Amino acid sequence: MAKSSDNNRRKFMATTLQSVGLTALVGVLWSGYSAEAKAAKLVLRPPGALPEEDFLKACIKCGLCAEACVNRDTNIDKETGKQRPGTLKMAKGGDHKLVGTPFFTPRDVPCYMCDDIPCVPVCPSGALDEASVTNDKGELDINMAQMGLAVVHKESCIAYWGLQCDACYRACPLLDEAISLEYQKNDRTGKHAFLLPEVHSDVCTGCGLCEKACVTEKAAIFILPREYSTGRPGDHYVKGWDVKDQQRVGERKMDEIETQDKRSSEAPVDYLNKEIEY
């Protein structure tokens, strides 16, 4: 009887230890995944997405936006009659993004700027804000989307080498608005011209069609979330000739504007040539 009791006790202890070990392992794996997902900030969301922190709180991971994207009427290959891959994907393990949230990778499948923006109205939680892509006429307007911003890496863009390329310019759905070509003389040859792509941040929607079209091995023009691709001048710098820019800073009074810091109040002789980091 005692022997049977000892065996049961051993089995109980073994099972308990296994359960504790398995729980600890799952905890370690989950904490590692959570840290990785939170660190992946350079993720592009659908049109109308709230700021990332608010988006993650509001998104219920239902997948309706991705379903509407892939099932849209315009997503049929005219040659084969088959459905093409959708722009939006739902993150899964290994994507280095929060599982179940929608995102897109322009180099694979960009946003094709659908007029009716099918992914936005179906969102049941408000994570995709329909008002942000609705114009004054009450109509959905994909040109109001701010999914990201195109950035040109000049050192790898062959147009900056002097080779003729306007692939990104031609692919842009807002031709001569979101991307324009700047003509410059090529002093190296003396007889050719540079055709340099220039992105206009006030128009670019971040659709990624330019990144998809880029001919270089790794795209020389790519989309980044606006939070990471734009600067911020601060309220004390205002375009006096621009009424809208004045509205940006509100009613801030001139005597409250600070344009000096500790270094500004010192004479140059106080810090120059004294091995002080500045």
Angle, CA of 211, 151 and 203, to the nearest 5°: 90
Same domain, 47 and 142: yes
Is there a domain that residue 127 lies in?
A: yes
Could you tell me if 74 and 95 lie in one domain?
A: yes
Residues 137, 172 within the same domain: no
Please identify, among 214, 229, 244, the residue that sits at the C-terminal boundary of a domain: 229
Q: Does one domain contain both 54 and 137?
A: yes
Asked whether residue 30 is assigned to any structural domain, the reply reads no
Give every CB contact of residue 72 below 8 A, 6+ residues apart in sequence: 114, 118
Strands 179-186 and 149-152: unpaired
**Tens digits of residue pLDDT in 161-195:** 989 899 999 999 999 999 999 988 877 776 677 88
- Is 166 contained in some domain? yes
Among residues of the chain, what percentage have pLDDT more than 70? 75
Is residue 126 assigned to a domain? yes
What's the mean pLDDT in 106-113? 96
Nearest residue to 218 (alpha-carbon basis) of 101, 133, 106, 62 = 106
Model pLDDT for residues 202-237, shown as the tens digit of each residue = 999 999 999 999 999 999 999 999 999 888 887 778
pLDDT value of residue 198? 96
Q: Closest Cα to residue 165, out of 120, 195, 131, 124?
A: 195
- Name the token pair of 142: 């994909």
Lowest mean pLDDT among 43-47, 147-151, 249-253: 249-253
Helices first, then strands: H and E counts in the chain: 7, 6
* pLDDT-based confidence at residue 43 (cuts at 50, 70, 90): very high
Contact 158, 149 (CB under 8 A): no
Pair (165, 122) in one structural domain: no
Residue 29 lies in a domain: no
- CB-based contact 225:148 (threshold 8 Å): yes
Look at residues 94, 124, 146 and tell me which one is the last residue of a structural domain: 146
**CATH number assigned to the domain comprising residue 221:** 3.30.70.20
Domain hosting residue 84, numbered range: 43-146
Which residues, in sequence order, are CB contacts of 105 under 8 Å at separation 6+?
Answer: 44, 89
| Domain C-terminal end among 146, 178, 209 | 146
Quick check: is 21 in a domain? no
| Residue 278, C-beta contacts closer than 8 angstroms, at least 6 positions apart | 263, 271
Tell me how many domains the chain contains: 2
225 assigned to some structural domain: yes
Sign of the torsion angle spanned by Cα atoms 147, 153, 157, 161: positive
Residues 110 and 184 in one domain: no
Same domain, 97 and 116: yes
The mean-pLDDT minimum among 59-63, 92-96, 169-173 falls in 92-96
Q: Which DSSP state fits 254?
A: G
**136 and 157 both lie in a single domain:** no
User: 155 with 120, same domain?
Assistant: no
132 and 142 together in one domain: yes
Instruction: Specify whether 153 is located in the same domain as 99.
Output: no
Tokens 């792509």 sit on residue: 197
For residue 210, tell me if it sits in a domain.
yes
Cβ atoms of residues 64 and 90 within 8 Å: no
Task: Pick the more confident residue, 94 or 212.
Answer: 212
Task: Please tell me whether residues 209 and 193 are part of one structural domain.
Answer: yes
Residue 175: closest CA among 149, 203, 194, 135: 203
User: How, if at all, do strands 221-224 and 192-199 pair?
Assistant: unpaired
DSSP string, 80-120: T-PBPPPS-EE--TTSSS-TT-EE--TTTS-----TT-TTT
